[in-house]
A = this chain, B = another copy of it.
Amino acid sequence: MAKSNAPITEHLAYLLAQANREINRQLELRLSKEGVPVEQWRILKVLSDGDGHSMGELADAVLLNHPTLTKMIDRMVSDTLVYRVQDPNDRRKVLMFISDRGKVLCKKLNSLAVDQEEHILESYGDKSTSELKRLLESLIDSSN
């Protein structure tokens, strides 16, 4: 039985928040070299398959809710990193695509992100990292 007087630092929710905050902070720091927030990197990465993705799909994939995504996409359209196309099969939908400029930026960002992953692998270990990833995936699965 879980103890209700356990310190906050023993709660899974807290540990996740703390780890997420720290790793995200580090990633943010690297990506700031290109002046891009983490969410925009995620968007570019998802779109870099070249397919069109609807706003709803994208919002799910990049962990943003719809209005926030709309406004972030507005900025990225201004920066000509992505563009909108109305879905011909369902005109309620908007399909998002990555531009050539977006692809170039995405490549740079990817290598910055890989730097970070390699840094984690070094200090945290190969084995721990893959085990942690496995457990996180399974936690996410079991939450649906």
Contacts and interface: CB of A to CB of B under 8 A. Distances in A.
Interface stretch (A3-11, A66-74, A80-88, A90-98): A3-11
Q: Chain A: interface secondary structure?
A: helix
A33 interface: no
A62 B121 CA distance: 27
B22 A20 contact: no
A139 B143 contact: no
Number of copies: 2
Contact of A15 (B2, B15, B45, B137): B137
Given A2-B117, A19-B16, A133-B10, A139 B110 contact: no
Q: Give the interface size bracket for A toward B.
A: 35 or more
A136 B16 CA distance: 7
